[in-house]
Amino acid sequence: MTGTPVRFVVGTGRCGSTALSRVLNLHPEVLSVNELLSSLAPGTFPDGELTGAGFWKLLAEPNPIIDAMLRDGTPVPELLYRRGRFAPGAGVPVISAMVLPHLTDDPDGLFDELADVVPSWPSRPISAHYEGLFAWLCDRFGRRVAIERSGFSLQWITTLVERFPAAKLVHMVRDGPDCALSMSRHPGFRLVVLENRIKELTGVATMPELTAADIASLPPGLAKVPSASFDPAVLAQPLPLAEFGDLWSRLVTDGVRDLAPVPAPNRLTLSFEDLIGDPRTELTRFAGFAGVDPIGSWLDAGRALLDRGRLGGARSLPPDELAELRERCAPGARALEESL
- Angle, helix 319-339 to helix 241-259, in steps of 10 degrees: 0
In the chain, where the domains are located:
6-181+241-339, 189-236
Q: Does the domain made of 6-181+241-339 have the CATH classification 3.40.50?
A: yes
DSSP 234-293: GGGS---HHHHHHHHHHHHHHHHHHHTTS-GGGEEEEEHHHHHHSHHHHHHHHHHHHTS-
Most confident of 89-98, 205-214, 256-265, 308-317: 256-265
Between CA 98 and CA 33 the distance in angstroms is: 9
- What pLDDT does 323 receive? 97
Q: What is the pLDDT of residues 3-43, one digit of tens each?
A: 799 999 999 999 999 999 999 999 999 999 999 999 998 89
Residue 283: partners with Cβ closer than 8 Å, 6 or more residues away: 23, 275, 294, 298, 299, 302, 303
Cross-strand bridge partners of residue 270: 172
Between CA 142 and CA 135 the distance in angstroms is: 10
At residue 304, φ and ψ (nearest 5 deg) are -70, -25
Q: What is the pLDDT of residues 49-84, one digit of tens each?
A: 999 999 999 999 998 888 888 888 887 888 999 889
b vs e for 249-263, b when ≥16 Cβ sit within 10 Å of the residue's Cβ?
bbbbbbbbebbeebe
Residue 1 pLDDT > 50, yes or no?
Answer: no
